[in-house]
Structure 1
C-alpha cells in the first residue's frame, strides 16, 4: 500500500531527515552509556555543546581533594620527585618501588647559622680592637683571629654539606635514613616490622611545618628510631601509613597518574580524517 502525500500525488519522493540543532557525537556503540558510564557522560556533554570529557577528568572529579574527605583518600601525599636522586639510587634494589625522599627541614641547621653569624660579628669586633692597639703583636693577633673565623666558617659549610647529603627515603618495602659525607651510615627498617609510629611537633615545629618521627619495631636493637626535623610531617605520616596498610591503593593511584600523563591523540586523528 502506497501512502499519498499532502498534494494527493502518488509519486514517491526522497526526503531528507531533519537534523537536530546539536548533532550527537559519534559513539562506538548504538546505545552510548548502556554499559559504560563514561560514554554516557561524553554523549550528554556533546549534546549540550560542550566538548566530551575524558575518562581521566571524570576520575579527577570523583577524587575528594578536601581535607574532610578521609584519612587516606582526602589528603594527597606531598610532591616528591618521580625518580630517586643519585645519592639514594645506589641503595635501592630493582624490585622495590621508590616512593620519595626528603631532606631535613632547614631549621636543622639553625644552630650552625647562629654560630657562623656570631663568629663573623666577633671577628669584626676583634679586628677593630686590634686596629686600635699599637703593638708588634697586632699582626699576629689579626692572623689568629682570621684563621679561627675561617675554621668556624669551614665547619658551618661542612654541616651544610652534611645536611644536603642526608636523605630520608621511603619505598614500598622499607624506610631508610642515609647520613654522612665521607663516612656514610645507612639505617634501614622494613615496613612490615614497624609496630608503632608517631610524630611530635613543638610550637615552633607547627609554625614552620616540621616534626620528629618516632618509629618502633618488633626488634630490640633499632637502627632507625628517632628522626627529627622532617618536613611536612602530617602528609608524610599519612603517606607512610597508606604504604603500610593500603599498598594496592598507592599502586593504583600511581598507575592512574601515569595514564593521565599519556597524551590523547585520538581526537586529533579523527579531526584530520574529517578534514
Structure 2
C-alpha cells in the first residue's frame, strides 16, 4: 500500500529510488520473428554429416592425410569353411547339380510336349550288390566244384555245374540290364519311375497330389550317398510310394521340393544357365 501524499518519509524505510538505480534490467530474448536469433546462422544440416566420410573428417580437422577405409573383399569360398552345422562340424555351400538339357531316348517317349523335363537318375550301384555277390559266389563255387568232380572222375556232374553257373550268370546279367533301364524321372508336373526290359512298367504321380515326401538314409547310405524316398498322396494307394537306392538323396530331395513350391527359382536358374552358355559360345 502506498504512503499518503504529504506524509513525511519513514527514516527506517530504504530509499527505493537508489534500489531501482542500482539494479539493471534483465535483457529479454527476442522471438524468432522479432530479430536475429538461433536460426539466422548457417543451417544445422548444411554442414557435413557424420556419415559423410572424408567430408566430416576434413571439417573436424583430423584424418586429412589418411585414405578412406575400404572393407575387405570376402568371397563365398572364404566363408565356406566358417559355416558349421548343428553338431559344430564345418559345412560347405550347397552344390546344385546341373540340370540336363534333353531327356534320353529311353525317357523321351514317356513325356508329353507341354511338360518340362528336369532330370533322370539311375539307382545307386548298391542296388546291384545282391546279384553281384551271388554271381561272385557262384563263380568261386564252380571253380571248387569243378576241381573236386575232376578228382572224382565224374564228368557228367561237371557239365551240370557249368550249366547251373551259366544260368546264374545270365540272371546276374538280367539284373544289371534291368538296373540300367530303371530310371527315376522328374518334370515340372510329375515324378515317374520307368523299369523293365521286356515288360515295361511306368509309374507316375503328379506333383500337385504329393502331400508328404521324405527320404531315409542308413549309416551305409550316408557313407555311400544313397537313400530311400517315401511319397504320400492323401492317404490313397499310389503307384509310387517307396523308391529305394536313389543316388544323392539330399540334392534330389531339394530339387523335387523346389519344383513343388518354388518353380520360379528353377526357371530363373535355367534362364541364367542359358545366358551363361550363350556368353561362352559368343566368347
TM-score of the superposition, structure 2-length normalised? 0.66
- Counterpart in 2 of 1:243? 259
The 3 A distance-change label for structure 1 pair 243 and 265 is closer
- Counterpart in 1 of 2:217? 201
Structure 2 residue 201 is matched with structure 1 residue 185: yes
- Counterpart in 2 of 1:112? 131
Cα separation, 1, equivalents of 2:251 and 2:229: 12
- Counterpart in 2 of 1:131? 150
Cα separation, 2, equivalents of 1:254 and 1:161: 32
CA shift, 1:66, in A, is: 5.4
Cα separation, 2, equivalents of 1:217 and 1:181: 28
Conservation of the 8 A alpha-carbon contact between 1:104 and 1:231:
yes
Higher gyration radius (CA): 2
CA shift, 1:205, in A, is: 0.2
Cα separation, 2, equivalents of 1:198 and 1:97: 23
Cα separation, 2, equivalents of 1:117 and 1:204: 21
Residue by residue, what CA displacement relative to the aligned partner does 1:49-75 show, whole Å, maximum 9, x if unpaired?
xxxxxxxxxxxx89xx95969xxxx63
Cα separation, 2, equivalents of 1:258 and 1:264: 10
Higher RCO (C-alpha under 8 Å, 6+ residues apart):
1
Cα separation, 1, equivalents of 2:175 and 2:280: 48
The 3 A distance-change label for structure 1 pair 83 and 257 is same
Cα separation, 1, equivalents of 2:132 and 2:213: 31
CA shift, 1:218, in A, is: 1.8
Provide the aligned length of Structure 1 versus Structure 2: 200
Structure 2 residue 190 is matched with structure 1 residue 171: no
The 3 A distance-change label for structure 1 pair 206 and 93 is same
Residue by residue, what CA displacement relative to the aligned partner does 1:95-130 show, whole Å, maximum 9, x if unpaired?
111000000000000011100000000000000011
Structure 2 residue 227 is matched with structure 1 residue 211: yes
Cα separation, 2, equivalents of 1:235 and 1:99: 13
Segments of 5+ residues of structure 2 without an aligned counterpart are 1-74, 85-92
- Counterpart in 2 of 1:92? 111
The 3 A distance-change label for structure 1 pair 88 and 198 is same
Segments of 5+ residues of structure 1 without an aligned counterpart are 1-60, 269-275
Cα separation, 2, equivalents of 1:150 and 1:120: 9
